[in-house]
């Protein structure tokens, strides 16, 4: 039984095989899937499109990886348009076809299909290996449209067959001459640019050079200075946004005069990239002198124009382009065109680039790598050092007093970081009326501006591999403030505010948080003594009993302030037994003793604060032997102390006036 089943299955498989490979082939419609053009279309070197109706011819040539138009004008080609044509040729397949030899039998000819004198012809030359003879051009004639308008007739290169193909080929070839040309001027992208050279006819050459991620200016009276990276790259982006406005007919009367003027251009702009460079020569104003900004390049600005704002004025100028891709064309052979450029960009940015694009931020510091800041002043005998302790951004104050040991105190991190932020933002106060850059300052100028005795000398220390940076800040005879880096020979005018932000007093930078008790530490008792008469104002254990008659709110608030003890400002570098209040040297008014225990079984530790009389509504001095400090109390501590120290003497608010009886009507 199994043998019979096996034989039946084998027979069915053989039958199925026969149907698939013999019978099914006869069911397929006969279609021609062959391409019209041969393998030579895969590597085209040159391409010519002729419109026989108008006589216009566009010739294109590949140089390296780029395409250039050589006729009617020499100019870089529109890469997308050229690649679209090549793609159409590579994948050109007939919908149907018939031999030319059969036309005569039907009483037809090439003229019937528009192929005897075709309206459009295309010829291309394939690339060859070096030294090989140049191959003959491949000619494709494109005739009339078929009765179905989506197709047209073309003649095969050997002239033996007529093909019916989609009319997308003709649409690609019928592009206007303008669309075959690229309208770009600069093709070097911002990230690729290595330098920007500006050579005005009236003025000196200025060169911007990139080093790693920074830009520098060469060509000033000084040897080298920093350029503003963001503004420089925005200027490069604006240059890349420039487009050809129109090409000038070389036989036009104005063309010769424009070329002569461009022999000494108003501005020569050169961008250098990776092994290539491009140069734009800007010449005189073209006849259509003023054009709306819509036809000019759009500014690559961080703050684009609002929709309702008036357009920026722009001017049309004659120009020439020199690029390495065109073999280093010279102005005598280059194509003349016009370009619309915004007046503000040309006159404000490019022609004043050494000022407009110069870095106005004085210090080039990375706050995260700073290890110390030294502040010195001729009015102070001590040198103040702010030193980073570790990578957690903890800072300390290092005091170096002549004849005394070096002292250290914790620094307030927020104050130090605010200071660093102000110094990083320190910039030149530069206006057209009052220039902020003084280049190549003489020794006499340095003395005139106060640098013989600078108000502040700051030294910034970073990674060991980098040398320290010294910044000098001085006040001139005209009471203006100037800054100068010790390694440079030029001076900056800056805002006067910086000196107020740079006190040399170490108390200004000291850590305001004196104590923050951990949760395991308990405040067990408070005792407040009036030292003027040695009387106890308050003596209580904590927490307060439920039936206490004491001011619970004031005592609990005071206990909270003692757990996290902060200073508003420090007034002395160390604790003293007397304090100046209301202009008089006096002893402390109160002593506040707080008992602290870290565990239930440990012996209590007493923490003592001395409190002075209030000097005003918001000032009350506090002294701490434990922290060796005298400081102004913060307002919450002042308010917690008031009911306990002044409360018994406070008469309270005046009584409300008795209500006046209203007479009966």
Kindly give the residue spans of alpha helices, DSSP state H, lying in 409-483.
413-425, 443-448
Q: What is the pLDDT confidence band of residue 268, given thresholds at 50, 70 and 90?
A: very high
Q: What pLDDT, in 10s, does the model give residues 551-600?
A: 999 999 999 999 999 999 999 888 999 998 878 899 999 999 999 998 87
**What mean pLDDT value characterizes the chain?**
84
User: Are 557 and 524 spatial neighbours (Cβ–Cβ below 8 Å)?
Assistant: no
Residue 296 pLDDT > 60, yes or no?
no
| Alpha carbon distance 619, 250 (integer Å) | 84
Q: Please give the pLDDT value at position 300.
A: 61
Residue 637 pLDDT > 80, yes or no?
yes
Q: Please give the pLDDT value at position 231.
A: 95
Q: What pLDDT, in 10s, does the model give residues 131-146?
A: 778 788 888 898 888 8
More confident site: 10 or 574: 574
Of all residues in the chain, what percent carry a pLDDT higher than 90?
Answer: 38
Q: What is the pLDDT confidence band of residue 306, given thresholds at 50, 70 and 90?
A: low
| Alpha carbon distance 292, 278 (integer Å) | 27
9 inside domain: no
Copy the structure tokens of residue 80.
């997308």
Both 234 and 338 in one domain: the answer is yes
Both 114 and 255 in one domain: the answer is no
| Alpha carbon distance 607, 559 (integer Å) | 12
Copy the structure tokens of residue 412.
């307030």
| Alpha carbon distance 238, 357 (integer Å) | 13
In 3D space, the residue among 201, 204, 192 whose CA is nearest the CA of residue 239 turns out to be: 192
Q: Please give the pLDDT value at position 658.
A: 58
pTM: 0.73
More confident site: 419 or 654: 419
| Alpha carbon distance 640, 643 (integer Å) | 7
386 inside domain: yes
Q: At what angle do helices 635-645 and 552-563 cross, to 10 degrees?
A: 140
3 inside domain: no
Q: Which residue has the tokens 């022999």?
A: 263
Out of 180, 205, 231, pick the residue that ends a domain: 180
Q: What pLDDT, in 10s, does the model give residues 11-70?
A: 666 665 554 444 444 333 334 456 788 888 888 888 898 888 888 888 999 888 888 888
8 inside domain: no
25 inside domain: no
Q: Please give the pLDDT value at position 297.
A: 60
Residue range 274-296: mean pLDDT, rounded: 76
Q: Are strands 44-51 and 120-126 parallel, antiparallel or unpaired?
A: antiparallel
Both 536 and 497 in one domain: the answer is no
> What is the residue range of 593's domain?
514-649
Both 374 and 480 in one domain: the answer is yes
Phi, psi angles (nearest 5°) of residue 237: -65, -40
Q: Which residue has the tokens 């009276």?
A: 221
Q: Please give the pLDDT value at position 476.
A: 85
Residue 651 pLDDT > 70, yes or no?
no
320 inside domain: yes
Any idea what the CATH number is for the domain that residue 543 is in? 2.60.40
Q: What pLDDT, in 10s, does the model give residues 354-363?
A: 889 999 999 9
CA dihedral 288, 290, 295, 298 (to 10 degrees): 150
CA separation (Å) from 18 to 11, 34, 484? Answer: 11, 28, 95
More confident site: 34 or 280: 280
Both 167 and 250 in one domain: the answer is no
- SS3 state at 411: strand
Looking at the 3D structure of the chain, how many domains does it have? 4
CA separation (Å) from 635 to 177, 412, 501, 569, 598? Answer: 79, 19, 24, 12, 28
Strand order in the sheet with 96-99: 75-76, 66-71, 56-63, 44-51, 120-126, 138-145, 151-155, 161-166, 96-99
Both 49 and 147 in one domain: the answer is yes
Q: Please compute Rg for the chain using Cα positions.
A: 44
Q: Which residue has the tokens 């395991």?
A: 520
Q: What is the pLDDT confidence band of residue 625, given thresholds at 50, 70 and 90?
A: very high
Phi, psi angles (nearest 5°) of residue 554: -70, -40
Q: What is the pLDDT confidence band of residue 547, given thresholds at 50, 70 and 90?
A: confident
153 inside domain: yes
Both 297 and 169 in one domain: the answer is no
Q: Please give the pLDDT value at position 25.
A: 40
Cβ count near 609 (within 10 Å): 23
Both 372 and 346 in one domain: the answer is no
Copy the structure tokens of residue 626.
């434990």
Both 338 and 374 in one domain: the answer is no
Both 61 and 122 in one domain: the answer is yes
User: Where is average pLDDT lowest: 61-65, 315-319, 430-434, 656-660?
Assistant: 656-660
| Alpha carbon distance 232, 213 (integer Å) | 12
Burial class for 327, CB neighbours closer than 10 Å (0-12, 13-18, 19+): exposed
The string of DSSP codes covering 321-345 is: EEEGGGTS--TTTSPPEEEEEEHII
Cβ count near 78 (within 10 Å): 20
Q: What pLDDT, in 10s, does the model give residues 361-407?
A: 999 889 989 999 999 998 877 788 999 987 677 999 998 776 677 88
Q: Please give the pLDDT value at position 477.
A: 79
Out of 482, 508, 534, pick the residue that ends a domain: 508
Both 160 and 237 in one domain: the answer is no
Out of 462, 486, 508, pick the residue that ends a domain: 508
Both 97 and 244 in one domain: the answer is no
Three-class DSSP labels, 101-170 = HHCHHHCCCHHHHCCCCCCEEEEEEECCCCCCCCCCCEEEEEEEECCCCCEEEEECCCCCEEEEEECHHH
543 inside domain: yes
Q: Which range is most confident: 54-68, 151-165, 207-221, 518-532?
A: 518-532
User: Are 315 and 346 spatial neighbours (Cβ–Cβ below 8 Å)?
Assistant: yes
| Alpha carbon distance 62, 46 (integer Å) | 6
């Amino acid at each position: 039984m199994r043998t019979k089943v096996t034989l039946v299955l084998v027979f069915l498989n053989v039958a199925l095989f026969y149907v698939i490979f013999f019978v099914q082939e006869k069911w397929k419609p006969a279609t021609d899937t062959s391409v019209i053009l041969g393998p030579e279309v895969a590597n085209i070197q040159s391409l010519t499109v002729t419109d026989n109706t108008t006589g216009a011819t566009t010739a294109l040539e590949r140089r390296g990886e780029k395409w250039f138009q050589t006729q009617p004008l020499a100019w870089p080609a529109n890469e997308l348009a050229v690649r679209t044509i090549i793609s159409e040729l590579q994948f050109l397949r007939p919908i149907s076809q018939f031999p030319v030899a059969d036309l005569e039998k039907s009483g037809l000819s090439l003229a019937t299909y528009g192929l005897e004198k075709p309206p459009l012809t295309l010829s291309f030359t394939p690339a060859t290996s070096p030294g090989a003879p140049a191959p003959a051009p491949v000619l494709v004639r494109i005739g009339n449209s078929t009765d179905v308008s989506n197709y047209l007739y073309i003649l095969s290169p050997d002239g033996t067959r007529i093909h019916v193909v989609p009319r997308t080929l003709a649409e690609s070839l019928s592009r206007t001459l303008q669309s075959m040309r690229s309208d770009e001027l600069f093709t070097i992208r911002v990230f690729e640019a290595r330098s920007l050279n500006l050579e005005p006819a009236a003025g000196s050459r200025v060169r911007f050079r990139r080093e790693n991620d920074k830009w520098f200016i060469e060509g000033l009276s000084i040897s080298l200075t920093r350029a503003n990276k963001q503004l420089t790259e925005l200027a490069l982006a604006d240059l890349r946004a420039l487009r050809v406005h129109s090409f000038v007919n070389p036989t036009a009367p104005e063309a010769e005069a424009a070329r002569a003027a461009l022999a000494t251009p108003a501005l020569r702009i050169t961008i250098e990239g990776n092994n290539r460079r491009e140069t734009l020569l800007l010449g005189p104003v073209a006849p259509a002198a003023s054009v709306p900004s819509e036809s000019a390049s759009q500014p690559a600005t961080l703050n684009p124009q609002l929709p309702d704002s008036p357009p920026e004025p722009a001017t049309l100028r004659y120009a020439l382009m020199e690029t390495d891709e065109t073999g280093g064309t010279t102005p005598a052979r280059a194509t003349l065109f016009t370009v619309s450029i915004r007046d503000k960009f040309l006159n404000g940015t490019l022609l004043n680039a050494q000022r407009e694009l110069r870095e106005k931020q004085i210090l080039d510091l990375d706050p995260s790598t700073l290890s110390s800041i030294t502040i010195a002043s001729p009015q102070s005998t001590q040198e103040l050092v702010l030193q980073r302790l570790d990578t957690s951004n903890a800072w300390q104050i290092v005091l170096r007093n002549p004849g005394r040991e070096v002292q250290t105190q914790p620094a307030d991190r927020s104050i130090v970081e605010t200071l660093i932020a102000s110094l990083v933002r320190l910039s030149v106060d530069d206006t057209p009326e009052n220039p902020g850059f003084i280049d190549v300052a003489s020794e006499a100028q340095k003395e005139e501006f106060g640098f013989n005795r600078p108000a502040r000398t700051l030294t910034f220390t970073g990674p060991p591999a980098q040398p320290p940076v010294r910044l000098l800040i001085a006040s001139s005879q005209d009471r203006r403030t100037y800054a100068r880096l010790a390694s440079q020979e030029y001076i900056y005018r800056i805002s006067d505010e910086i000196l107020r932000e740079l006190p040399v007093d170490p108390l200004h930078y000291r850590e305001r948080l004196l104590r923050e008790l951990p949760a395991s530490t308990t405040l067990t008792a408070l005792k407040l003594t009036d030292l003027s008469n040695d009387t106890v104002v308050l003596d209580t254990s904590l927490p307060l009993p439920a039936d206490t008659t004491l001011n619970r709110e004031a005592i609990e608030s005071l206990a909270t302030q003692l757990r996290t003890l902060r200073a508003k400002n420090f007034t002395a570098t160390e604790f003293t037994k007397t304090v100046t209040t209301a202009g008089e040297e006096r002893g402390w008014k109160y002593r506040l003793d707080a008992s602290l225990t870290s565990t239930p079984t440990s012996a209590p530790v007493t923490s003592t604060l001395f409190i002075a009389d209030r000097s005003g509504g918001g000032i009350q001095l506090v002294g701490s032997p434990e922290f060796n400090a005298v400081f102004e109390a913060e307002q919450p501590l002042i308010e917690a102390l008031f009911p306990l120290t002044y409360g018994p003497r406070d008469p309270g608010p005046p009584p409300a006036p008795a209500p006046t009886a209203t007479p009966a009507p």
